[in-house]
Structure 1
Amino acid sequence: MKSIFATKRQSGPEMTTELDEAVAPPFRLSDAMAKREPVVDADNLWEALRVDELLDAAKEGNLAEVRRLCEEADVDPDARGYMGWTAAHWAARQGHMDVLEYLHEIGANLDTLDRKGDCLLHKAAANGQAKACAWLLQHSFNVQAVNNNGMTPIDLVREKATTSRDATTVRCEALLVKECECTF
């Protein structure tokens, strides 16, 4: 009768057990390398890097770099990064009005939603960006838009106001509340 415990036996330079081989055959690096497929091709990798550069430039408010990437490097201004954010999402969240206006001028889709269902107004409100909120409201953004979590821009600015009562956040909250009252 065979023991329930795996027995060790010599196999090449290392010791293996019958149990090891029963669970998985011995690993050979040469086999793994021969079957390796490239994750992405060079063109897709290059494009992904350019999109990251665009998103970083929008996040930092670097209008010259956003312009260069969109006009000279032909990066799609609606390209999405992590969580479906576009350059416009970052510009709104950070309050970079010049970048937001430029993206609007070149026809970027400002109605885009990220994976959480947030529109640009959600992003601006969540970060207390009063000027960005005012600009977005002037461009017909819906103050009562609901994201995937059932939250409106007002809900998000109020959430921020619980931790930060800085003047910009207070102005942003007042602006959105006033706009909401006007829509009823």
Structure 2
Amino acid sequence: MKYYSALSRYVAPPVSLKPTRTVRFPNDIVFQDHIRQGDLEQVGRFIRARKVKLDTLYLSGMAALHEAVLSGNLECVKLLMKYGADIHQRDENGWTALHMACSDGHTEIAKYLLSQGARVDTVNDEGEVPADLIDPEDVKLRALFEARGAV
């Protein structure tokens, strides 16, 4: 006769533990994700730990600064510039960060890029300067370029 304690009927039978799988993504992919999410702390950590290079063109065809502009995150753009992102770097289509800011209507980012020396006369692969990409109804962004004589 076996002796069972009162708790034995509540104890789960032993379970065989299988090793868990972990998925690891390349640093560049994780870094881009942090940029898109606006996680400035992680973006800074990746840069300081030299896990990424700011001039890398990712599979998206863009560099980190382009990704930050597209996300509309001015603080991320400033952080990348602080760590040496090239304001004149072109993506795979010849677009600069300023082209992207104009195309997407990010007036504050465009203003910042211009204050940091972004060129208004850079031509992309389609022959367009940043001002060519401004929505005609975007009065603020258009005025920013008109004040510089770039429209």
TM-score by length of 2: 0.74
Which structure 1 residue ranges, 5 or more long, are not aligned?
A: 1-45
User: Is 1:176–2:149 an aligned residue pair?
Assistant: no
CA RMSD of aligned residues (A): 2.1
CA separation in 1, counterparts of 2:119 and 2:87?
A: 12
Q: Deviations for 1:27-48, whole angstroms, at most 9, x for unmatched residues? A: xxxxxxxxxxxxxxxxxxx7x7
Deviation at 1:152, TM superposition (A): 1.2
**What SS does structure 1 have at the residue aligned with 2:89?**
coil
Correspondence for 1:96: 73
CA separation in 2, counterparts of 1:109 and 1:60?
A: 21
Correspondence for 2:133: 156
Q: Deviations for 1:42-93, whole angstroms, at most 9, x for unmatched residues? A: xxxx7x7211121222223221121122223622222221343111011122
Correspondence for 1:110: 87
CA separation in 1, counterparts of 2:84 and 2:71?
A: 20
CA separation in 2, counterparts of 1:100 and 1:66?
A: 11
Query: Taking every aligned residue pair, what percent have the same amino acid on both sides?
Result: 26
Correspondence for 2:47: 70
Q: Name the amino acid aligned to 1:141.
A: A
Deviation at 1:101, TM superposition (A): 1.3
User: Is 1:80–2:57 an aligned residue pair?
Assistant: yes
Structure number with larger C-alpha Rg: 1
Q: Report which stretch shifted further, 137-146 or 71-80.
A: 71-80
Q: Which has the higher helix share?
A: 1
Q: Report which stretch shifted further, 68-77 or 82-91.
A: 68-77
Q: Which has the higher strand share?
A: 1
TM-score by length of 1: 0.62
Kindly indicate whether the alpha-carbon contact (under 8 Å) linking 1:59 and 1:87 is maintained by their aligned counterparts in 2: no
Counterparts of residues 48-67 of structure 1 (less than 5 Å): 49-67=26-44
Correspondence for 1:140: 117
CA separation in 2, counterparts of 1:150 and 1:49?
A: 34
Kindly indicate whether the alpha-carbon contact (under 8 Å) linking 2:87 and 2:113 is maintained by their aligned counterparts in 1: no
Correspondence for 1:27: none
Kindly indicate whether the alpha-carbon contact (under 8 Å) linking 1:122 and 1:156 is maintained by their aligned counterparts in 2: yes
Kindly indicate whether the alpha-carbon contact (under 8 Å) linking 1:58 and 1:91 is maintained by their aligned counterparts in 2: yes
Structure with bigger RCO (C-alpha 8 Å, 6+ apart) = 2
